[in-house]
Amino acid sequence: MTVLNVLSALFLLAGAGFCLAGTVGVLRFPDVYCRLHALTKVDNLGLGLVVVGLSLEAGSWATALKLFLVWFLVLISSAFTCQLIARAALRRGVGAWGGSRES
């Protein structure tokens, strides 16, 4: 167990925690827009932490760079898709949460 192993393990576990938080947000938040917010931010942070943890042990610069390229693509696509889905929901007349949780 070197220092790098411990660091990598910490990053992986933190990423798993953030991914869990994203799923909990999708399941618990009251409307589409809040759920999108949880999904496209928290999950990307979780994926980023996983990528950092893996690239610490990747063994080669090429592998680490490819991992970061994957993360970069997911980040860009999430930024665009979040806006597109929210606009589609607005056009379809999906209302936003009013501020009082029933039940």
Asked if 3 touches another protein (CB under 8 A), the answer is no
Q: Please say whether the beta carbons of 58 and 67 come within 8 A.
A: yes
Q: Please say whether the beta carbons of 41 and 69 come within 8 A.
A: no
User: CA 58 to CA 64: how far, in whole Å?
Assistant: 6
* DSSP-based three-state secondary structure for 103: coil
Q: Which of residues 13-72 bind another protein (CB under 8 A)?
A: 13, 15-16, 19-20, 22-23, 26-27, 32, 35-36, 39-40, 43-44, 46-47, 50-51, 54, 57-58, 63, 66-67, 69-70
Closest CA relative to residue 71, chosen from 45, 96, 95? 45
Residues that bind another protein (CB under 8 A): 5, 8-9, 12-13, 15-16, 19-20, 22-23, 26-27, 32, 35-36, 39-40, 43-44, 46-47, 50-51, 54, 57-58, 63, 66-67, 69-70, 73-74, 77-78, 80-81, 84-85, 87-89, 91-92, 94
